[in-house]
Amino acid sequence: MLVFSLILTIVMLVVALKPTLMTISGLIGQISQRKEVVKKMNDKIYRVQLATKLLNEAEAKLPVLDESMPEGFVWGDWAKKLELLATQSGVKTNQISVTEVMTTKGEARFTMSGSGQYEQILQWIVMLENMRRIVIIDSLQISSAKNELTAMINGRIGFETRKEASEKTGQN
Mean of the per-residue pLDDT values for the chain? 83
- What would the mean pLDDT of 6-27 be, rounded to a whole number? 83
Last residue of a domain, one of 60, 81, 101: 60
Structure confidence at residue 101 (pLDDT):
80
Distance CA 112, CA 96 (A): 4
What are the CA-CA distances from residue 149 to residues 9, 84, 152 (Å)?
Answer: 113, 19, 10
Is residue 35 domain-shared with residue 76, that is, in the same domain? no
Please, which pLDDT band fits residue 172 given cuts at 50, 70 and 90?
Answer: very low
CA max distance for the chain: 133
Q: What are the tens digits of pLDDT across the range 31-83?
A: 999 999 999 999 999 999 999 999 888 888 777 766 666 676 677 777 888 88
Can you give the residue range of the structural domain that contains 139?
A: 65-165
φ/ψ region of 109 (left if φ > 0, alpha if ψ in -120 to 50, else beta) reads beta
Structure confidence at residue 164 (pLDDT):
47
Name residue 46's amino acid. Answer: Y
Q: What are the tens digits of pLDDT across the range 76-99?
A: 777 888 888 889 999 998 888 888
Collapsing DSSP to helix, strand or coil, 110 comes out as strand
Last residue of a domain, one of 60, 92, 107: 60
